[in-house]
Structure 1
Amino acid sequence: MPVLNFSYAVIKDFAAFQDYVQQAGPLMEKAGVEVVVRGTLAKTKRGEEKPAHIAAVFRYPDMDAAHGFYETDEYKTLIPLRDQACDMSIYFYDE
C-alpha cells in the first residue's frame, strides 16, 4: 500500500536548508520517491497558528520503502545538516 510522507520544516538557517534540499533531492530521486507537492505556509485559516514553515508531501511505494529511505547511510549523513537548517516533523500516512 502506498505511503504518504508529510514533512513540515520550520527554517532556522535558509542557506543550510537549501544545501540540505540540494543534497536530499538526488537521494530521493535515486530511491524512487515521488514528490506530490511542496509549498510555503501562506495563511492559517483555522486551527492553531503555526510558525512560518515549508510543507512537502512525498509518496513511497510502501512503509518499508519509507522507513528504508531514512535509514540509508547516505541520508543519515544529512541529518546533522537538516537539524541545523530546520526543525522538521515527519509523518507517514497510509494512502
Structure 2
Amino acid sequence: MTAFFVAVVAVKDPAKMQDYSKQAAETFKPFGGEMVMRGKAGAVLTGGDANHQATGIASFPSMQDLKAWYASDAYQAIIPLREEAADMTITAYDVPS
C-alpha cells in the first residue's frame, strides 16, 4: 500500500532549505521513495491564513518503507540541517485500498 510523506514548511533560511531538500531527496532512493510535488503556497482558497510557505510530498511503496527511511541513519543525519532551514510539520499518510 503506497504511503505519502507530506511536509508543510515555514522557511527560516532559504539557502539551507535548498541544501536540505537536495540531501533529503537523495536519502529516499534506498527506500523506494520519490518526490511527487514540491511547491510554494500560492493562495488560500478556504480555511483562513496558511501559516506555511511551501509543501513537499514524497511517495514510498509502503508505510514500512516510509518509516524505515525516516529512521535511517542517512535521514537522521540531516535533521539538524532541517531544523536550521525551516519549521516543518511532517505527516505520513497511507493510501486506503
Same fold (TM over 0.5): yes
Name the TM-score, length of structure 1 as normaliser: 0.91
Question: For structure 1, which segment, 80-89 or 49-58, has the greater mean C-alpha deviation from structure 2 after superposition?
Answer: 49-58
Q: Structure 1 residue 51: deviation in Å?
A: 2.9
2: distance between equivalents of 1:87 and 1:52?
9
Question: For structure 1, which segment, 51-60 or 7-16, has the greater mean C-alpha deviation from structure 2 after superposition?
Answer: 51-60
Structure 1 runs of 4+ off > 3 angstroms?
Answer: none
Q: Which amino acid aligns with 2:81?
A: L
Assess if the C-alpha contact under 8 Å between 2:6 and 2:55 holds in 1: yes
2: distance between equivalents of 1:66 and 1:42?
28
Equivalent residue for 2:5?
A: 5
Pairwise CA RMSD of aligned residues? Answer: 1.2
Q: Which amino acid aligns with 1:65?
A: D
Gaps of 5+ in 2: none
Q: Count the aligned residue pairs.
A: 95
Q: Which amino acid aligns with 2:66?
A: A
Equivalent residue for 2:81?
A: 81
Gaps of 5+ in 1: none
Equivalent residue for 2:25?
A: 25
Identity rate, percent: 32
Cα separation, partners in 2 of 1:14 and 1:54, compared to 1, 3 Å: same
Question: For structure 1, which segment, 85-94 or 47-56, has the greater mean C-alpha deviation from structure 2 after superposition?
Answer: 47-56
Q: Deviations over 1:11-37 (max 9, x none)?
A: 001011111112112111333212221
Cα separation, partners in 2 of 1:19 and 1:81, compared to 1, 3 Å: same
